[in-house]
Amino acid sequence: MPRMIKIEQKLSMLREKHKHVVYLVTEDRDILQAVFTQMADTLKSFLPEDVSTTLQTSNNHSFFKVAVSNGVLADAYEVFSLKEKDYIPKDFFQETGGSSVGKPLFKNPRIFFVMNDFQILPESKSAGGRCASHFLKQFIAAAKREETEGRFILLFLVSPVLKMPEGFESEVEIIDVPEMDREDIEEFLLVEAEKEFEDNCRQRAYELNGKKQEISPVNLQRIREAAKDFRGVSRRGLQETVADLQAEFGSFFGRAEDKSGTEGNRRKISASRKKKIMELKRNEALHDPTVTILEPQDTVVGMREFLNWVEGVKEEFMDVDKAHACGNEPPKGVLLTGVPGSGKTQAAKSVAAAMGGNEGNVLLVQFRMDNLLGGLVGDSEANFKRCRKRIEALAPCVVLMDEIEKTFAIDKASGKNDVKMNILTALLDWMQENKKQIFFFATSNSVTELKPELLRDGRFDMRFCVFMPTYDELVDILCLHMKRANGRAESAGAGLFTENFDYMKTAKGFINEITAYARAENKNMFYTGANLENLVTQTNRELKKRAGKNAGSKDAGWQKPYGEIAYKEALVETAKGKFSQPYGVTNMKNIVEFWLAAYENQYTNAGELDLVPFTAYNADKCEFQTEKNTNRDRGAAASKHESHRTAVMSERESHLADSKYDKGKAAANEYDRYMSTRLREEIVKYHKEKKNSIKQQEN
């Protein structure tokens, strides 16, 4: 049902309910213009006879302008001088009294009053202070007195969030205005299409040779296609975008009767329309404090199984009709749990980029609790509702809920736990009921700290875990960070590396050498992506120090630009130092606990090459199965990984492409063998100790 029909149904019952205040909760500041235009007949029924004779004959499309120009619709802030007053006296709307200035202002023709941004009228605990509750109480009482005299006064409150003083819920008609739906948008665009025909010296769309005609099926289909692009756009945004397209192309949809409707021009109009709408949505969201907009980036490394799954559901997400044709609803989202620094947030940016494709028409929105928590009772819940409406208006979009286990963590000192639980409940209901093109992307660093409600079936389509990167993934990640560092250096004047610097050779050389060192020293030198980023940063700082010490000397090995051997040696030396400790050294216990928790909760590994597969572990015996079959499967997966990796390198992350890369099985390297062995040993050891501890406690 179009939103205006819902609003009109409530307005038509106001006289019967004796309600004189309507609260429209909406981001659309032009909502009242739409209400007066599309519900003119209903609103005219409230006019007294002496006023109706002036306005009844006005065209419904111009009723808003006529009502304003004739003083029938007035701005309450201006009429009652609310912005100029420090307080509202108790006798403001009384028949008599020294401060009785409100009563005379109810005189004809004023019937309708509006207060945009009602939330700015402050609430005050001081007696007689200028506050929302005091004003509403007096206005409603005065309006009811006017009703006994035959005049029905209406006050329209408009604000993006509900800020209703306590005790007025039964006196005020609260309408949570939904966004414009498909029918609303199509109706608006049909009117604009008719104007196009008029403006271009053509007959109106429904008149031809004196006979009433419908808009041609071809044009009607094109208008409906345009309407799909405008989903989630405000009424003002619709008007501005349509006007821009008409000024640029002569049409917002490409009329079949003239040159704007040629195939080439239609493509240009469509591309421009999508771009303008994306910019409009982004700009509107930037001014909404309840949401944060992030930039999609297609630079994730690894996670091949996860990315393959995303590619498989992409079409169903972007085209709801295709999902329904398969008997499915569009995908709800995914939960990606992994060790810290494994690139989970970056994966969300890549998903938004993948969903949007070349057109880039999928926004990435971050859901943040600190954007929602308010200081007053009810503020946080109201902010959540506003956040939800904004995100639904931004669809299609990806919603990132980063480190969700911390977002809803219990904090005994904060006093906001009840509020957080209310928001969590509302969020879960939203995720369960969601039918829009909203893809919820939740990340967490821990499996055990996640609330059980988040793990129930129906919340997310899939649960993936991101484990420690493999050899090939580390090579790619290290290449990425070296190239980024070199790019920053080049933008500052001079690059870090020599011409034709071999990134792959340097990265592989470092990992091979550090693995040999780790074996010799019996250390768990196992890296995450964040570890490698920090390693490059620390190495560059150390090289800068050495360059200063060696200034003017013949030792050019530590001077820019660096060659492969010099930089590899610098990386190794930094890695062995105290300022660069990999996650395997500092958090092996956490890695083991994470693996076991993911195993127990039946997660799917996000990577294609699984060095420590869940299927190989026997939890009852605390042991891994015989290696014969798992080695064979791992080798096959490695070959598949290499062939697929080579095929997609040119499409994804061109910074990783390197002709000098020596292809080989990912499992056929010392790093993967060593990490696999050490992790299995630690998993078995930890699990046995845990079981023994439980038995001792039971005994």
Both tokens of 310, joined, read: 């995303």
Higher local confidence (pLDDT), 305 or 180? 305
Q: Which residues of 591-601 are buried (b: 16+ CB within 10 A; e: fewer)?
A: bbbbbbbbbee
Residue 582 shares a structural domain with residue 697: yes
- Local confidence band at 551 (pLDDT 50, 70, 90 cut-offs): low
The set of residues, in sequence order, having a beta carbon less than 8 Å from that of 596 and lying 6+ positions away, is: 683, 686, 687
Instruction: Report the alpha-carbon distance of residue 278 to residue 357 in Å, rounded.
Output: 14
Residue 60 shares a structural domain with residue 91: yes
Q: What Å distances lie between residue 345 and 103, 365, 383, 401, 444, CA to CA?
A: 59, 12, 24, 9, 10
For the CA atoms of the chain, what is the radius of gyration?
33
Instruction: Report the alpha-carbon distance of residue 119 to residue 77 in Å, rounded.
Output: 13
Residue 279 shares a structural domain with residue 313: no
Place of tokens 């990984």: 641
Q: Which domain holds residue 205?
A: 182-284
Instruction: Report the alpha-carbon distance of residue 199 to residue 192 in Å, rounded.
Output: 10
The answer on pLDDT for 659 being more than 60 is no
Per-residue pLDDT at 85: 56
Picking from 185, 191, 279, 192, the residue whose alpha carbon sits closest to that of residue 224 is 185
Instruction: Report the alpha-carbon distance of residue 403 to residue 443 in Å, rounded.
Output: 5
Lowest-pLDDT choice from 442-446, 605-609, 651-655:
651-655
Mean pLDDT of 57-86: 79
Residue 360 shares a structural domain with residue 380: yes
Do 163 and 382 touch, CB atoms closer than 8 A?
yes
The answer on pLDDT for 634 being more than 60 is no
The DSSP annotation for 510-567 comes to: HHHHHHHHHHHHT------HHHHHHHHHHHHHHHHHHHHHTTTSS-GGGSSSB-HHHH
Both tokens of 117, joined, read: 């941004």
Q: Are strands 604-605 and 623-624 parallel, antiparallel or unpaired?
A: unpaired
Residue 458 shares a structural domain with residue 478: no
Lowest-pLDDT choice from 118-132, 184-198, 303-317, 590-604:
118-132
Q: What is the CATH number of the domain that holds 155?
A: 3.40.50
Structural domain ending residue among the three candidates 440, 466, 492: 466
Both tokens of 207, joined, read: 């008149």
pLDDT digits (tens, 9 = 90+) for 474-485: 999 999 999 999
Q: What is the CATH number of the domain that holds 406?
A: 3.40.50.300
- Local confidence band at 510 (pLDDT 50, 70, 90 cut-offs): very high
Place of tokens 């989903």: 231
Per-residue pLDDT at 49: 80
Per-residue pLDDT at 456: 84
Residue 512 shares a structural domain with residue 396: no
Higher local confidence (pLDDT), 414 or 536? 536
The answer on pLDDT for 128 being more than 60 is no
Per-residue pLDDT at 558: 60
Lowest-pLDDT choice from 15-24, 231-240, 524-533:
231-240
Q: What Å distances lie between residue 26 and 177, 436, 558, 641, CA to CA?
A: 6, 19, 62, 50
Do 681 and 613 touch, CB atoms closer than 8 A?
no
Do 651 and 298 touch, CB atoms closer than 8 A?
no
Instruction: Report the alpha-carbon distance of residue 574 to residue 570 in Å, rounded.
Output: 6
The answer on pLDDT for 168 being more than 50 is yes
Q: What angle do CA 565, 566, 568 make, to 5 degrees?
A: 65
Per-residue pLDDT at 51: 77
pLDDT digits (tens, 9 = 90+) for 133-163: 888 888 898 899 889 888 899 999 999 888 8
Structural domain ending residue among the three candidates 228, 258, 284: 284
Residue 306 shares a structural domain with residue 385: yes
pLDDT digits (tens, 9 = 90+) for 37-52: 888 889 989 988 877 7
Both tokens of 173, joined, read: 């008609």
Structural domain ending residue among the three candidates 176, 198, 219: 176
Q: Cα-flanking dihedrals φ and ψ of residue 331, to 5°?
A: -60, 140
Helical packing angle, 304-318 and 344-356, nearest 10°? 40
The DSSP annotation for 423-487 comes to: HHHHHHHHHHH--SSEEEEEEES-STTS-HHHHSBTTBSEEEEE-S--HHHHHHHHHHHHHHHHH
Per-residue pLDDT at 328: 87
Higher local confidence (pLDDT), 647 or 72? 72
Enclosing H/E stretch for 34: helix 31-38
Report whether the peptide linkage leading into residue 396 is cis, meaning its omega lies within 30 degrees of zero.
yes
pLDDT digits (tens, 9 = 90+) for 584-632: 999 999 999 999 999 999 999 998 888 999 999 999 999 998 655 444 4
Q: What Å distances lie between residue 378 and 162, 199, 415, CA to CA?
A: 9, 49, 14
Mean pLDDT of 356-375: 85
Residue 368 shares a structural domain with residue 435: yes
Amino acid at 648: V
Per-residue pLDDT at 412: 53
Coil/strand/helix, residue 604:
strand
Instruction: Report the alpha-carbon distance of residue 241 to residue 252 in Å, rounded.
Output: 8
pLDDT digits (tens, 9 = 90+) for 245-293: 999 999 999 988 888 889 999 999 999 999 999 898 888 888 888 889 9
Residue 195 shares a structural domain with residue 298: no
Per-residue pLDDT at 543: 92
Amino acid at 305: E
- Local confidence band at 668 (pLDDT 50, 70, 90 cut-offs): low
Share of the chain above pLDDT 70, in %: 83
Q: Average pLDDT, whole number, for the chain?
A: 83
Coil/strand/helix, residue 294:
strand
Instruction: Report the alpha-carbon distance of residue 615 to residue 617 in Å, rounded.
Output: 6
Higher local confidence (pLDDT), 28 or 366? 366
Instruction: Report the alpha-carbon distance of residue 443 to residue 335 in Å, rounded.
Output: 6
Residue 577 shares a structural domain with residue 697: yes
Enclosing H/E stretch for 99: none
Residue 340 shares a structural domain with residue 453: yes
Lowest-pLDDT choice from 307-321, 434-448, 521-535, 632-646:
632-646
Do 632 and 456 touch, CB atoms closer than 8 A?
no
pLDDT digits (tens, 9 = 90+) for 379-406: 888 899 989 988 988 889 999 999 999 8
Per-residue pLDDT at 686: 95
Both tokens of 65, joined, read: 């302008």
Number of structural domains found in the chain: 4
Coil/strand/helix, residue 651:
coil
The set of residues, in sequence order, having a beta carbon less than 8 Å from that of 464 and lying 6+ positions away, is: 303, 305, 306, 309, 334, 335, 336, 337, 603, 604, 605, 606
Place of tokens 């008149």: 207
The answer on pLDDT for 522 being more than 90 is yes
Residue 316 shares a structural domain with residue 234: no
The DSSP annotation for 197-250 comes to: HHHTT---TTEETTEE-PPPHHHHHHHHHHHHHTTT--HHHHHHHHHHHHHHHS
Higher local confidence (pLDDT), 603 or 132? 603
Torsion of CA 530, 536, 537, 540, to 10 degrees: 180
Strand-pair partners of 401: 442
The answer on pLDDT for 661 being more than 50 is no
Q: How many CB atoms sit inside 10 A of residue 359's CB?
A: 12
Mean pLDDT of 188-214: 63
Enclosing H/E stretch for 384: helix 379-394
Cα torsion 654, 655, 656, 662: sign? positive
